[in-house]
Amino acid sequence: MIWNETIECASRDEMMSIQSERLIRTVQRVYHNTPGYRAKMQAKGLVPGDIKSIEDISNLPFTEKTDLRDNYPFGMFTVPMSEIVRLHASSGTTGKPTVVGYTRNDLNMWSENVTRALCMAGVHQNDIVQVAYGYGLFTGGLGLHYGTENLGATVIPISGGNTQKQIQLMQDFGSSVIACTPSYALYLAEAMREMGVDPKSLKLRVGIFGAEPWSENMRKEIEAQLSIKAIDIYGLSEVVGPGVSCECEHQVGMHVNEDHFVPEIIDPKTLEPVAPGEVGELVFSTITKEGIPIIRYRTRDLTRLNYDKCECGRTLVRMEKCMGRSDDMLIIRGVNVFPSQIESVLLEMSETEPHYLLIVEREGTLDVLKLMVEVQEQFFSDEIKELEALRKKIRNNIQSTLGISCDVKLVEPKTIERTAGKAKRVIDNRKI
């Protein structure tokens, strides 16, 4: 099912015409209502009249997370607070949180985009959607909630955590869709095994997973353990929240709702656009938001774009699953390492659990990468030789795949902390 066929199947010329009209209007809005944007444009010698079409977007200045924090809490808003009907904010783990405000039209637009995403995932009106993303200032829970209601499906607003209750409600209420982080989905599968619940006895058929990077191998693991189709959804609070893009049932890239969110790919070092099809940093401009429009926001996520028409019939541009972030990429002795690469290696091995922790230390002048990984119960043996052989196997697999040595520590199942939210995968002690 396609929710909005006129837009989702529009020709490239039609889409660019929509984008041009909306970008021009947005640039005028931010120039006249946000001093920070006006100053940035003036520094580049730009006035709103210089932006005549979507092809001029690369002339505009970038926005970074620091811009939102420097203007905390409401300095980036383009409407008076009397028109803001909801506030969300990031977790603020470093410095002040980033605050975003929504007008009533913004909330309606957001719901429309999440509903499109749900339809891409194969969700329909007769589904019962269990939303296990966190509710509150985090955009995940409420974003999926309102999109589900807009679709006309049934929503279970359980939020994150309370794992046994999650599974009980799946059994009692007949949940057919689960929405949560991918790491929590694996935790649910683990808890089901402990409770003696066979996932195949449930009505679950689709999972909508986002809020953290995850690999194709992790997708296979989730699909195998929960007997569902695992769909990747993408969003970030600074742009709107979940629903910026989502995979369809063909799982060949996330369709971007580009009539609202215009994507670009840039080289994170030169900040120049990359050639079509090349990997680079994802940049988004919002072209319909009223409360806090964002121009050329640097997401730090690394991906590439594909403008080919999808098998599903949608012509919306697709972004590949994010390969990591330009700002949390680990550089170990000159080698670029993403946690998702380590995860992919581990998930190809039958002996390990999909729970791990990367620890980076500086010993003298050298950076050392340490990996703590859980071993499946049947492979955790008192035989030192067997464990040592497994440790070497993991180390060699990482060495051959990533080209970097790694100190591997094997731990028993359930040693590494579980969380209902984003999994903590990296501890970088070089910064301490």
Query: From its phi and psi, is residue 385 left (phi > 0), alpha (psi between -120 and 50) or beta?
Result: alpha
Cβ-based burial of 11 (10 A; exposed 0-12, middle 13-18, buried ≥19) = exposed
Distance from C-alpha of 170 to C-alpha of 134, rounded to nearest angstrom? 17
Encode pLDDT of 188-214 as tens digits: 999 999 999 999 999 999 999 998 888
Q: In the predicted model, is pLDDT for residue 168 greater than 80?
A: yes
User: What is the SS3 assignment for 186?
Assistant: helix
Model pLDDT, residue 402: 87
How many Cα atoms are found within 13 Å in the side-chain-facing hemisphere of 289? 27
Q: Where do we find the tokens 């997401």? A: 299
Element (H, E) at 340: helix 339-347
Q: What value does the mean pLDDT take over residues 242-257? A: 98
Distance from C-alpha of 166 to C-alpha of 156, rounded to nearest angstrom? 10
Q: What value does the mean pLDDT take over residues 47-60? A: 98
How many residues does this entry show for the chain? 432
Tokens standing for 84? 């803001």
Pick the CATH number of 5-326 from 3.40.50.720, 3.40.50.12780, 2.60.120.260, 3.40.50.11900: 3.40.50.12780
**Nearest Cα to 287, choosing from 92, 67, 106, 22?**
22
At a CB cut-off of 8 Å and minimum separation 6, what does 203 contact? Answer: 128, 170, 174, 175, 176
Encode pLDDT of 103-143 as tens digits: 999 999 999 999 999 999 999 999 999 999 999 999 999 99
At a CB cut-off of 8 Å and minimum separation 6, what does 349 contact? Answer: 393, 394, 397
Mean pLDDT of the residues in the chain: 94
**Nearest Cα to 109, choosing from 128, 85, 132?**
85
pLDDT band at 377 (very low <50, low <70, confident <90, very high): confident
Q: In the predicted model, is pLDDT for residue 345 greater than 80?
A: yes
Label each residue of 36-58 as H, E or C: HHHHHHHHCCCCHHHCCCHHHHH
Tokens standing for 124? 């329909």
Model pLDDT, residue 213: 81
Beta strand 229-236 pairing with 241-247: antiparallel
Question: What is the percent of the chain where pLDDT is above 70?
Answer: 98
Distance from C-alpha of 101 to C-alpha of 238, rounded to nearest angstrom? 10
Q: Which residues pair with 395 in a beta bridge?
A: none
Alpha helices in 50-181 (DSSP H): 65-70, 104-120, 139-151, 163-173
Q: What is the DSSP letter of 201?
A: G
**Angle, in degrees to the nearest 10, between helices 139-151 and 104-120:** 70
Encode pLDDT of 264-314 as tens digits: 999 999 999 999 999 999 999 999 999 999 999 999 999 999 999 999 999
Lowest-confidence segment of 269-273, 315-319, 321-325, 391-395 by average pLDDT: 321-325
Contact 404, 369 (CB under 8 A): yes
201 vs 354: which has the higher pLDDT:
201
Domain boundaries, the chain: 5-326, 331-428
Q: Kindly list the distances between the CA atom of residue 222 and the CA atoms of 178, 248, 347, 425, in Å, as whole numbers in the listed order.
A: 12, 17, 11, 18
Question: What is the percent of the chain where pLDDT is above 90?
Answer: 81
Contact 312, 297 (CB under 8 A): no
Contact 191, 137 (CB under 8 A): no
User: What is the SS3 assignment for 361?
Assistant: strand
Q: Where do we find the tokens 């977007």? A: 57
End-to-end alpha carbon distance in the chain: 51
Encode pLDDT of 378-418 as tens digits: 888 778 888 999 999 999 999 998 888 999 999 999 999 98
In 10 A of CB 193, how many CB atoms? 12
Name the most confidently modeled range: 297-301, 364-368, 424-428: 297-301
CATH 3.10.50.40 fits 331-428, yes or no: no
Q: What is the DSSP letter of 203?
A: -
Q: Which residues pair with 283 in a beta bridge?
A: 264, 298
Distance from C-alpha of 99 to C-alpha of 244, rounded to nearest angstrom? 18
Beta strand 318-319 pairing with 407-411: unpaired
Domains 5-326 and 331-428 share a fold: no
User: What is the SS3 assignment for 367?
Assistant: strand
Contact 6, 112 (CB under 8 A): no
Distance from C-alpha of 187 to C-alpha of 192, rounded to nearest angstrom? 9
Encode pLDDT of 95-114 as tens digits: 578 999 999 999 999 999 99
Distance from C-alpha of 204 to C-alpha of 396, rounded to nearest angstrom? 38
Distance from C-alpha of 249 to C-alpha of 344, rounded to nearest angstrom? 22
**Nearest Cα to 236, choosing from 223, 247, 245?**
245
Q: In the predicted model, is pLDDT for residue 319 greater than 90?
A: yes
pLDDT band at 354 (very low <50, low <70, confident <90, very high): confident
Longest CA pairwise span in the chain (Å):
73
